């Protein structure tokens, strides 16, 4: 019997790639690069850079091996909570696959690198769609499913054959891990998840190139990934609809720097802000209706850190309603204090109208009740940045420019132009140089 891993490898190898696929991959890679560079301008980012310089020969980041570079890029990419997300798998593919591209392929063919990116995103999201909702309650899908995508991208860059790819995915799957426990204390573990997800795939592919074997049935085996981490997984999703467009086309780009589960309600809140500017002081109660996963992760009435605030529906909705914008400056102590009175009026609840279509659709409604007994309601069925409400190429480029300017680097246009030129087979830019001199 042909294993699921081998079938997935063949499915991805056989998918045709057209010019539009390459163009979309370039835009997503630009978004990931901007997140990586901007991530260094953060407390957690500075810790990661200090660690990396401490282990690099002579403190030179250029001399880090490619696996450690991938780890560093992955951790930085996920810090600001404004990287991409694939709805059906609840995986952030960019922060585990793009680091492989920038670590392994700097200076190499841009089109080949974009092909590797497409394949890596396909692998991690297909595995993610197959784990089921129970997995997500304990396991962080980006961390557990990410190594499959980073390994797939790395095997393409190393030009490995089918057997080697199966071995790489087997060993990548055996390294899968990542628990949500960090949310209870607001720890910085989530960045580690992205870094390890990227690094694990690189190591697995490098070993496969040396003939190092991995479990061919790592997914479905009696002591494999699904059995260990999933309850009633929809395994059919792994190989379903092979002729559909690449999963990259079903991936969302975040417009706001907070947990994606907050975004449908943020969008509704921003619409309401424009309607109630004169009545904000009369709001007596705010109800957020959403799906259960958003409640589980983001029902956090009193966030006590920047990171916790990014996972707080109460804070995010109060910010959207009160300020009319949610940006990188919306989460520090001063920002939290500014909207705390409004946030205290927010109640979050799960309703069937949004639970049933999740995760194919991520929706929310915000209901405002006023002291005079009147109320208003605004609903969002697909958040801005989702495939059915996609950001334009101009909006994506503008977002990247804003992130790069936030990082403090000079000449942001240069990096944007380099990545844009990758679709015409320009070389992959060297991001390490920007981390060395960017701040």
pLDDT one-digit tens code per residue, 60-89: 999 999 999 999 999 999 999 999 999 999
Residue 439: pLDDT band (50, 70, 90) is very low
Q: What angle do CA 183, 189, 193 make, to 5 degrees?
A: 115
- Could you give the CA distance from residue 117 to residue 111 in angstroms, rounded to a whole number? 10
Give me the mean pLDDT over the 236-259 stretch: 96
- Give 254's Cβ-side CA count (13 Å radius): 32
For residue 253, give Cα distances in angstroms to 3, 17, 30, 46, 390.
33, 21, 11, 25, 8
Calculate mean pLDDT across residues 330-359.
Answer: 96
Q: Based on the domain organization, do 47 and 98 belong to the same domain?
A: yes
Interatomic CA distance for residues 249 and 254, integer angstroms = 14
Beta-bridged to residue 347, according to DSSP, are: 287
Are 359 and 88 in contact, with CB atoms under 8 Å apart? yes
Q: Is 307 in the same domain as 416? A: no
Least confident of 194-208, 233-247, 406-420: 406-420
The residue out of 359, 380, 401 marking a domain boundary is 380
Residue 437's pLDDT band (boundaries 50, 70, 90)? low
Q: Which residue has the tokens 């199966």?
A: 166
Token pair, residue 105, equals: 């392929």
Query: Both 242 and 273 in a single domain?
Result: no
The Cα–Cα gap between 26 and 235 comes to 30
How many angstroms separate the CA atoms of 392 and 18, rounded? 19
pLDDT above 90 as % of the chain: 91
Q: Are residues 290 and 362 in the same domain?
A: yes
Alpha-carbon span 251 to 233, nearest angstrom: 21
The answer to whether residue 412 sits within a structural domain is yes
Let me know whether 291 and 250 are in one domain.
Answer: no
How many Å apart are CA 81 and CA 257, to the nearest integer? 5
End-to-end CA distance of the chain: 54
- 353 and 429 in a single domain? The answer is no
Give the tens place of pLDDT for each residue, 169-186: 999 999 999 999 998 888
| 205 shares a domain with 99 | yes
Q: Do 68 and 99 share a domain, yes or no?
A: yes
Instruction: Mean pLDDT check: name the lowest of 46-55, 147-156, 226-235, 382-391.
Output: 382-391
Domain housing 144: 4-255+390-437
* Full strand arrangement of the beta sheet holding 364-370: 346-350, 283-290, 364-370, 375-380
274, 358: one domain: yes
Rounded Cα gap, residues 146 and 122, in angstroms: 11
**Residue 365, domain CATH:** 3.30.1330.120
Instruction: Please give the structure tokens belonging to residue 192.
Output: 């580690």
User: Which one of 335, 353, 380 terminates a domain?
Assistant: 380
Domain count of the fold of the chain: 2
Structural domain includes residue 385: no
Tens of pLDDT, residues 253-270: 999 999 999 999 999 999
Q: What is the Cα 179 distance to its own chain's centre?
A: 16
- Report the chain's mean pLDDT, rounded to a whole number: 95
Q: Which residue has the higher pLDDT, 409 or 296?
A: 296
Whole-model pTM: value is 0.92
Q: What's the confidence (pLDDT) of residue 278?
A: 83
Q: Are residues 282 and 305 in the same domain?
A: yes
Q: What angle do CA 147, 150, 156 make, to 5 degrees?
A: 135
pLDDT at 438 over 70: no
Same domain, yes or no: 211 and 109? yes
In whole angstroms, give the CA distance from residue 176 to residue 182: 17
Domain boundary among 333, 358, 380: 380
Q: How far apart are CA 290 and CA 63, in angstroms?
A: 47
Nearest to 225 by CA among 4, 407, 49: 4
Q: Is the backbone peptide bond immediately before 359 cis, with ω within 30 degrees of 0?
A: yes
Q: How large is the average pLDDT for residues 342-362?
A: 95
Nearest to 225 by CA among 178, 272, 290, 269: 178
Judgement on whether residues 251 and 266 belong to the same structural domain of the protein: no
Residue 168 lies in a domain: yes
């Amino acid at each position: 019997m042909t294993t699921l891993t081998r079938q997935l490898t063949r499915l991805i190898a056989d998918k045709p790639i057209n010019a539009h696929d390459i163009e979309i991959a370039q835009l997503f890679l630009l978004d990931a690069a901007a997140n990586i560079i901007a991530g260094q301008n953060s407390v957690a980012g500075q810790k990661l850079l200090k660690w990396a310089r401490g282990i690099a020969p002579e403190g030179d980041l250029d001399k880090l091996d490619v696996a450690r570079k991938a780890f560093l890029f992955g951790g930085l990419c996920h810090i600001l909570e404004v990287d991409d997300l694939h709805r059906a798998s609840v995986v952030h593919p960019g922060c585990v696959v793009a680091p492989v591209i920038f670590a392994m392929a700097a200076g190499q063919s841009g089109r080949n690198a974009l092909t590797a990116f497409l394949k890596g995103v396909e692998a991690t999201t297909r595995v993610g769609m197959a784990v089921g909702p129970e997995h997500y309650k304990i396991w962080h899908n980006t961390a557990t499913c990410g190594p499959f995508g980073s390994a797939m991208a790395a095997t393409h860059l190393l030009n490995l054959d089918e057997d080697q790819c199966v071995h790489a995915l087997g060993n990548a799957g055996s390294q899968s891990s990542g628990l949500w426990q960090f949310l209870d204390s607001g720890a910085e573990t989530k960045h580690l998840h992205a870094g390890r997800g990227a690094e694990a795939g690189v190591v697995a592919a490098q070993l496969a190139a040396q003939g190092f074997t991995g479990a061919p049935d790592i997914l479905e085996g009696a002591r494999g990934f699904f059995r260990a981490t999933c309850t009633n997984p929809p395994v059919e999703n792994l190989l379903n609809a092979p002729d559909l467009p690449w999963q990259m086309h079903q991936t969302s780009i975040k417009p706001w720097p907070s947990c994606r589960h907050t975004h449908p309600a943020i969008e509704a809140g921003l619409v309401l802000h424009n309607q109630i500017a004169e009545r904000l002081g009369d709001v007596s109660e705010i109800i957020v209706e959403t799906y259960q996963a958003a409640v589980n992760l983001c029902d956090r009435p009193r966030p006590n850190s920047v990171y916790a605030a990014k996972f707080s529906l109460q804070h995010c909705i109060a910010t959207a309603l009160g300020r009319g914008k949610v940006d990188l400056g919306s989460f520090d102590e001063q920002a939290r204090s500014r909207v705390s009175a409004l946030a205290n009026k927010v109640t979050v609840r799960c309703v069937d109208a949004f639970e049933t279509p999740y995760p194919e659709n991520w929706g929310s409604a915000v209901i405002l009740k006023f002291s005079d007994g009147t109320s208003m309601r605004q609903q969002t069925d697909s958040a801005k940045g989702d495939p059915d409400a996609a950001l334009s190429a101009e909006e994506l480029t503008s977002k990247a420019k804003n992130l790069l300017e936030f990082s403090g680097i000079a000449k942001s246009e240069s990096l944007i132009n380099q990545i844009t030129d990758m679709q015409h087979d320009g070389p992959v830019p060297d991001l390490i140089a920007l981390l060395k001199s960017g701040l």
